[in-house]
Amino acid sequence: MAHSVEFEQLVDDAKSRVREVSVPEFAQWQASGRHAILIDVREDLEWQAGRAQGAVHLGRGVIERDIVAAVPDKATPVVLYCGGGFRSALAADNLQRMGYSAVWSLAGGWKAWLAAALPTTAE
């Protein structure tokens, strides 16, 4: 998907403050028993079409509103993903500003998850 220069600049700015984890690194975390809540920040229709197995859904439009109820301990490791890693970086930046200290954006997002042939589920 082509993005505007302005959007890419906004994402680049957020990524300068956000940690990213690659799909293979995250898969290794899971295999080694390292705990992190995987949150899908995509739109409802994207979530319904398919998602990473074990993910919870807090769409980009509501995550800042609902994250405290979903993850009250702000030290809990959280990995966010979207379609390609842009929206998740923006959301991760905001969560850090809200006091969450262990937040990552999944580099490459859903596209990278599918390319790695990791487990998925759909409605």
Which one of the listed residues 11, 38, 82, 95 is annotated catalytic? 82
- What is the model's pTM? 0.94
Q: What domains are defined for the chain?
A: 5-121 (3.40.250.10)
Q: How confident is the model at residue 2 (pLDDT cuts 50, 70, 90)?
A: confident
Predicted confidence (pLDDT) per residue in 72-119, tens digit: 999 999 999 999 999 999 999 999 999 999 999 999 999 999 999 999
Catalytic residue flag (residue 82): yes
Question: 118 burial class (0-12, 13-18, 19+ CB within 10 angstroms)?
Answer: middle
1 has pLDDT over 80: no
CB-based contact 23:38 (threshold 8 Å) = no
